[in-house]
Chain A
Amino acid sequence: MTTPSSAQSSDLTSGAPDATDATADGAIVRTENLTKTYQMGPSELTVLREVSIDIKQGEYIAIMGPSGSGKSTLLNLLGCLDRPTTGRYLLGGQDISLVDDDELSAIRGAKIGFIFQSYNLIHQLNIIENIEVPMIYQNFSESASEARARELAELVGLGDRLRHRTTELSGGQQQRVAIARALANDPLIILGDEPTGNLDSKSGKEILDLLDSLHQQGKTLIIVTHDDDVSLRAQRVFHVLDGRIERIDVHDN
């Protein structure tokens, strides 16, 4: 398999980060004893316990585990949608635990691409406009963001239906739009929470192929899944159980 560094990266999905984006040993994502506790009335519910992981630039990571084990919670923390109760999270060398809400939004907007199980497209907008959403908050001009959205739509194979409403698309097509949207800000990491969970096996496979090609172009992927097909494609699989990383499988593909 091609190494990330030798990937034929187009300028749309140039995965190579700045030198400053990684910690000294090359980890783009590093957590140190991440703990997440929810206050449920008088009692506390600890969902993540002392999770310490390192993910390098260009890696393809799968996160697996039984329902309720804390996979989504971990992914939300990695995606800067939430802050850990204790512990540190360094994204591209920047300590996320210390920044305020505005800064967190800015980091999400600049460094993270999300793919959701239920696609989460805005149905009032057409395909192009959906792909443009992250770029609005990155201060793209209208013409620049539209041009980029068009290219990304081509890239995910939807170049022929740019002005369609999202409700006119199949699940697989919607997920492609979501992937194009996740690429719009040229993120440091792409996070997927069961991206194939709502799809039949055929369109699920198409999405996975698309993710594979992104990986080959040097993108860093972190995908939560119940699907063994996904984990087989990943380089490392984190097995989560009861809020802990129980085991890490390394695939030699």
Chain B
Amino acid sequence: MFLLRLKRTVKLGAKSLWMHRLRSTLTALGIVFGVCSVVAMLAIGEGAGRDAQDQIARLGAQNIIIKSIKPPRSDSAKTGTNRYEAYGLSYADVRRIRDTVPHIQEVVPKRLITLQATYRNRSVTVQVIGTASWYGEVHPMRLLRGRFLAYMDEKRQQKAAIVDQQVVDQLFAVDDPIDTNIKLKGDYFTVVGLVAPSGAAGPAGQDAARLKTGGRAGDAAVGNIYVPLSTFKTCFEGSRERVELEELTIKVDSTESVLLIRDALEVLLRRFHKNKDYQIIVPLELLRQAARTKRIFNIVLGSIAAISLLVGGIGIMNIMLATVSERTREIGIRRALGARRSDIIIQFLSETLLLTLTGGLLGIALGLIVPIMVTHFGDMPTVITGQSLIMAFGISAAIGITFGLYPAYRAAHMDPIESLRHE
């Protein structure tokens, strides 16, 4: 019974909205744009933040990365013109770290060189990474085919190579890469495994590549080839004698101890590298920084959007108050004919809710399009989360109730006799 009455009262609200189509549309527009901007802003904020976070997260939250860098000029008291002066991390550092610093699970040394890889008559630029067999424990990689480097490869200085999909795409075209031989600087290496492209392991390597090429990110399309460190030494040593180890990744047993170990490493390295030819990168710290930045970004964008929603809500309230006073007489008539206060409240509240909810849905639809356009034309990553959609819809419902309740309350509490007298 009550439901029947509720249904009819809601219908009344819908009907009266329909009767004032233009006014309803204009009123709802405020909500449409408000919700649209909430959805769009959150998607842009989320996209910008997540992009950075993803890159950092791939470096590993439990990892500490130490890189060799050219010592600052002013620090090297010598001439600085000696191009073959050695600097950076060494195998001695690895030993020292392993022996003295606690809480360390793995130390993965890494050597890097960029050179031409040749297969049959095809030749592309690749980045060769000389590393240990436990590389995967620190930089999770998805093995697509074959196997990863093994301890025996290292021990016997096998000319085994793992290629990533990128290399396969560039070098092999349709041929099966497994068990083929590719030529790297005069030596033939046998491909034993295939891993997923840079997504998994790339950024660390690309990061290094970027560092070498002076920060240009344009070379990201270079594929990676992994070879045993010992093999790397024998085959490519001599070309890059200045640096013994380009990179060292240290995996700590838990994220809690990361910062402590960072300090310990700093103390240790400072003793042996007076000329500051290393750089310690803590992805966890970067990750937290990025999360903080993202949160602030979201709050700022969200506030701007919220203000536009608020303006929309005030617009609705304004119109509803006008509607209520315009329809004072109708309210008096309905009250005289048996409508309870709750009936009047439901009638007007359902008008506002219908306005805001349809406005909200349209706003969400529009808000879904905007990020797509931004990504397409602005070349900016955007991420639409279900959470933000639910939130936007919830907000428009909340606005409907908040800004509709007062006008509806006003309508319901008018004196029926006074209202009937109203002109």
Judge whether B338 and A110 touch: CB under 8 Å: yes
Q: Which of A59-67, A98-106, A199-207 contacts B (4 or more CB under 8 A)?
A: A98-106
Judge whether B4 and A108 touch: CB under 8 Å: no
Nearest opposing residue in chain A for B1, CB measure:
A139
Partner of B340 from A120, A133, A137 at Cβ < 8 Å? A137
Contacts of A134 in B (CB 8 A): 337-338
Judge whether A82 and B417 touch: CB under 8 Å: yes
Bound-state CA distance A141–B1 (Å) is 9
Mask for A125-159, Cβ within 8 A of B = 1, else 0?
Answer: 00000000110111101100000000000000000
Judge whether B333 and A120 touch: CB under 8 Å: yes
Contacts of B9 in A (CB 8 A): 136
Residue B335 is within 8 A (CB to CB) of chain A in the complex = yes
Mask for B337-361, Cβ within 8 A of A = 1, else 0?
Answer: 1111111000000000000000000
Bound-state CA distance A108–B336 (Å) is 7
Judge whether A185 and B338 touch: CB under 8 Å: yes
Nearest opposing residue in chain A for B338, CB measure:
A109
Mask for A176-209, Cβ within 8 A of B = 1, else 0?
Answer: 0000010001000000000000000000000000
Residue B196 is within 8 A (CB to CB) of chain A in the complex = no
Nearest opposing residue in chain B for A130, CB measure:
B333
Contacts of B4 in A (CB 8 A): 139, 141
A9 to chain B, nearest CB (A): 23
Q: A76-B417, A124-B19 are in contact. Are A137 and B336 (CB under 8 A)?
A: no
Judge whether A102 and B340 touch: CB under 8 Å: yes
Bound-state CA distance A102–B8 (Å) is 19
A134 to chain B, nearest CB (A): 4
Main secondary structure of the interface of B (DSSP, over half): helix
Q: Which of B65-120 contact A (CB under 8 A)?
A: none
Bound-state CA distance A181–B338 (Å) is 12
Nearest opposing residue in chain B for A119, CB measure:
B333
Bound-state CA distance A82–B332 (Å) is 13
Bound-state CA distance A81–B341 (Å) is 13
Bound-state CA distance A142–B4 (Å) is 9
Q: A76-B417, A136-B8, A139-B1 are in contact. Are A120 and B329 (CB under 8 A)?
A: yes
Interface range on chain A (Cβ under 8 Å from partner): 20 to 34
Nearest opposing residue in chain A for B5, CB measure:
A139
A-B contact count (CB 8 A): 69
A174 to chain B, nearest CB (A): 13
Contacts of A116 in B (CB 8 A): 420
Judge whether B337 and A133 touch: CB under 8 Å: yes
Residue A92 is within 8 A (CB to CB) of chain B in the complex = no
Residue B16 is within 8 A (CB to CB) of chain A in the complex = yes
B8 to chain A, nearest CB (A): 5
Judge whether A105 and B341 touch: CB under 8 Å: yes
Bound-state CA distance A136–B343 (Å) is 10
Partner of B337 from A102, A139, A181 at Cβ < 8 Å? A181
Contacts of B8 in A (CB 8 A): 136, 142
Judge whether A137 and B417 touch: CB under 8 Å: no
Partner of A122 from B333, B341, B417, B420 at Cβ < 8 Å? B333
Judge whether B1 and A102 touch: CB under 8 Å: no
Residue A114 is within 8 A (CB to CB) of chain B in the complex = yes
Nearest opposing residue in chain B for A118, CB measure:
B420
Nearest opposing residue in chain B for A139, CB measure:
B1
Contacts of B339 in A (CB 8 A): 105, 109, 136-137
Bound-state CA distance A105–B341 (Å) is 8
B417 to chain A, nearest CB (A): 5
Q: Which residues of B contact A (CB under 8 A)?
A: 1-2, 4-5, 8-9, 12, 16, 19, 329-330, 332-343, 416-417, 420
Beyond known contacts A108-B336, A114-B337, A122-B334: 4 more, CB 8 A cutoff: A102-B342, A105-B338, A114-B336, A116-B420
Q: Which 3 A-B pairs rank lowest in CB-CB distance, beginning with the nearest?
A: A109-B338, A137-B338, A134-B337
Q: Which residues of A contact B (CB under 8 A)?
A: 76, 79, 81-82, 101-102, 105-106, 108-110, 114, 116, 120-122, 124, 133-134, 136-139, 141-142, 181, 185
What would 29 A/B residue contacts be, using CB atoms closer than 8 Å? A81-B336, A81-B417, A101-B340, A102-B341, A105-B335, A105-B338, A105-B341, A106-B338, A108-B337, A109-B338, A110-B338, A114-B336, A114-B337, A120-B420, A121-B333, A122-B330, A122-B334, A124-B19, A134-B338, A136-B8, A136-B12, A137-B334, A137-B338, A137-B340, A138-B338, A139-B2, A139-B5, A142-B8, A185-B338
